[in-house]
Amino acid sequence: MARYTCVLAVMGVSACKSSPSSINSTINGKTAADPAPPEKHHPAGEIITTERMRDQYPVRLGIVALLGVGDSSPLLERSADDGVKLGPIGEKWIGDHCDVVALDSRCLTPESYPRIRKAHKLFTGLLYTYASSVYEQPHRGSVAVWRPEMANWELKTSSGAPVKHEDGGGHWMDCGDPEWQKCWGHQAQKLAFQFHADGVVAADMPPGNTFVGDDLLKYHRFSDKVDAASTFLSAVHQPSKFLVVPSGVGFDELVGRPTLPVERKRTEPRLKGRCWDEFDKLDDGAWAEGWVHPYWLNGTVNENEWEVQLEAADRAGRFGEVFIAALGYSTPEELEYGLASFLLVSHHQGRAVVQPMPLVKGEPPNSGTSLQVLMREYNKYKSLFDAPLGRGLRERRYITLQFGSVWRRTFANGDVYVNASDTRYVTIDLGGPMVRATGETVRTIALGPHSGMILIKPAQNPKVASK
């Protein structure tokens, strides 16, 4: 896996986590608007409904954007490295289409996010940062510039020498070191305030950081790395001031020891004993960088891992936390499976979003971190991203049919079916005509292993309804 892992953060008035004053919140499906100036402050507890951008389209879009950020940028321009600024066209497109975006501070001005929020009041703007790297010169993701006194905070090998960084001028920092935690928390919060961001994505968290190897002085087991991440998040997490959204790489793994308890209403059976539960009270969401189909692999996760990842997304969405589901795909069928999986657990006013990560021949696997690529993929698969399903009417259900079982969720304007099985083939009689997101009218559908389908009621398509 190449070096572009990340992290996330979110909100929620009704959630067990408090929210920064600049974050929108949800209670029972109603949304609190951005806080008004002091002279117009609303009474405590009053909920103000805010209209949802693209209200009928439950596939919500978001991106951690490091490439192709400028209005005239090539698809894979290294914008975060070069400091290319987000332009007015990009700002407008984000405001019209995206709920959550994380950009490097080098790609922003202090006015960028406030302008987007004028168009999209429920927008969450984050900064991309590294939790465990600092550089000797201004650099993508670096919250500060290296100083000699930071040498005592570096990550050490078993011999006591600093772990060698693969980037020139880079230093690997020990996330378990209290002084680095203090420095990082102060600098990340300062950047968030400077650029009017709701919080930061924190990349290269210890559980998923494979770049440093295993020959470490203090960390020998996976649980040791989890402990370092826990102390780091405990030290820097200040949800009343800014959000911390870590990269979720490694979060699906079992810790190997009892995890921190979660509130009863947040209990998910498959998340027990995993990093998701360990960090539940310590962060504000996650960038699920390898959700359902990791972009660094050739296939989707198995059915058990799929269920873990859906529960993580469901919990984050229910409580208004940031969840960026980075979804790999190489065919329209793989994309529909991933989007249908997302729709099973989507929440109307949540902050759970999909980041398309297309696997295209001739492009690097991280091309989905390009804003220009996101625009391209949206235009290419608009019928899937803009399936007008409306609001979900009930939770997902596992239904048993004559020849097998599938997941189903009913929406106001259609249905979603997902077969997450590794081996099973299922045929479904719909009982009447339905319209696929691709435009095909069907009365029966067949789902093979790891497949899904988004179906719209004929009434939403005048040509079909008139037949």
Residue 21's pLDDT is: 35
Residue 50's pLDDT is: 64
Q: Give the pLDDT band of residue 54 (cuts 50, 70, 90).
A: confident
Of 365, 385, 405, the position where a domain reaches its end is 385
pLDDT tens profile 134-183 = 999 999 999 999 999 999 999 999 999 999 999 999 999 999 999 999 99
Are 34 and 121 a contacting pair, CB within 8 Å?
Answer: yes
**Residue 270 placed within a domain:** yes
Residues 139 and 241 placed together within one structural domain of the fold: yes
**Residue 7 placed within a domain:** no
Residues 69 and 122 placed together within one structural domain of the fold: yes
Residues 335 and 401 placed together within one structural domain of the fold: no
**133 against 12, higher pLDDT:** 133
**19 against 219, higher pLDDT:** 219
The rounded mean pLDDT for the chain is 89
Residues 336 and 428 placed together within one structural domain of the fold: no
Residue 92's pLDDT is: 97
pLDDT tens profile 201-242 = 999 999 999 999 999 999 999 999 999 999 999 999 999 999
Residues 151 and 291 placed together within one structural domain of the fold: yes
Q: At residue 252, does pLDDT exceed 90?
A: yes
Domain count, the chain: 2
> CATH number, domain at 252?
3.20.20
Of 93, 40, 60, the closest CA to residue 350 belongs to 60
Residues 456 and 352 placed together within one structural domain of the fold: no
pLDDT tens profile 363-405 = 999 999 999 999 999 999 999 999 999 999 999 999 998 778 9
How much of the chain, in percent, has pLDDT values that exceed 90? 83
Residue 273's pLDDT is: 97
**Residue 364 placed within a domain:** yes
Residue 25's pLDDT is: 34
> CATH number, domain at 446?
2.60.40
pLDDT tens profile 325-338 = 999 999 999 999 99
Residues 44 and 107 placed together within one structural domain of the fold: yes
What is the full DSSP assignment across 217-277? Answer: SS--SHHHHHHHHHHHHHHH-BTTTBEEEEB-TTTTSB-SSPPPP--GGG--GGGTTBHHH
DSSP 459: G
Residue 424's pLDDT is: 93
Give the domain extent around 138. 25-385
Please state, in angstroms and rounded to a whole number, the distance separating the CA atoms of residues 386 and 109.
30
Are 455 and 430 a contacting pair, CB within 8 Å?
Answer: yes
Please state, in angstroms and rounded to a whole number, the distance separating the CA atoms of residues 289 and 5.
7
Q: At residue 96, does pLDDT exceed 60?
A: yes
Residue 20's pLDDT is: 42
**Strand pairing category for 441-447 and 351-358:** unpaired
Of 353, 385, 417, the position where a domain reaches its end is 385
Residues 128 and 266 placed together within one structural domain of the fold: yes
**Residue 295 placed within a domain:** yes
**Residue 216 placed within a domain:** yes
DSSP 437: T
Are 107 and 80 a contacting pair, CB within 8 Å?
Answer: yes
Residues 31 and 62 placed together within one structural domain of the fold: yes
Per-residue 3-state assignment (H helix, E strand, C coil) for 310-349: HHHHHHHHHCCCEEEEEEEECCHHHHHHHHHHHHHCCCCC
**Residue 243 placed within a domain:** yes
DSSP 397: E
Residue 438's pLDDT is: 85
Q: At residue 462, does pLDDT exceed 60?
A: no
Please state, in angstroms and rounded to a whole number, the distance separating the CA atoms of residues 286 and 319.
13
pLDDT tens profile 276-309 = 999 999 999 999 999 999 999 999 999 999 999 9
Please state, in angstroms and rounded to a whole number, the distance separating the CA atoms of residues 341 and 301.
12
Residue 33's pLDDT is: 35
What is the full DSSP assignment across 271-298? Answer: GTTBHHHHTTTT-SEEEETTSSS-TTSS
Please state, in angstroms and rounded to a whole number, the distance separating the CA atoms of residues 27 and 9.
18
Residue 460's pLDDT is: 64
Q: At residue 41, does pLDDT exceed 50?
A: no
Please state, in angstroms and rounded to a whole number, the distance separating the CA atoms of residues 112 and 351.
20
End-to-end CA distance of the chain: 51
Of 385, 412, 440, the position where a domain reaches its end is 385
The model carries a pTM of: 0.89
Please state, in angstroms and rounded to a whole number, the distance separating the CA atoms of residues 268 and 312.
8
**Residue 14 placed within a domain:** no
**Residue 13 placed within a domain:** no
Average pLDDT over residues 410-419: 97
Are 11 and 320 a contacting pair, CB within 8 Å?
Answer: yes
Please state, in angstroms and rounded to a whole number, the distance separating the CA atoms of residues 174 and 217.
11
Region of 113 please: left (phi>0), alpha (psi -120 to 50) or beta: alpha
Q: At residue 49, does pLDDT exceed 80?
A: no
Are 93 and 375 a contacting pair, CB within 8 Å?
Answer: yes
Q: Give the pLDDT band of residue 320 (cuts 50, 70, 90).
A: very high
Tokens of 261: 């308890």
Residues 327 and 460 placed together within one structural domain of the fold: no
Angle formed by the axes of helices 222-236 and 178-194, to 10°? 50
Residues 366 and 440 placed together within one structural domain of the fold: no
Residues 370 and 412 placed together within one structural domain of the fold: no
Average pLDDT over residues 46-64: 81
Give the position of tokens 């990791």: 294
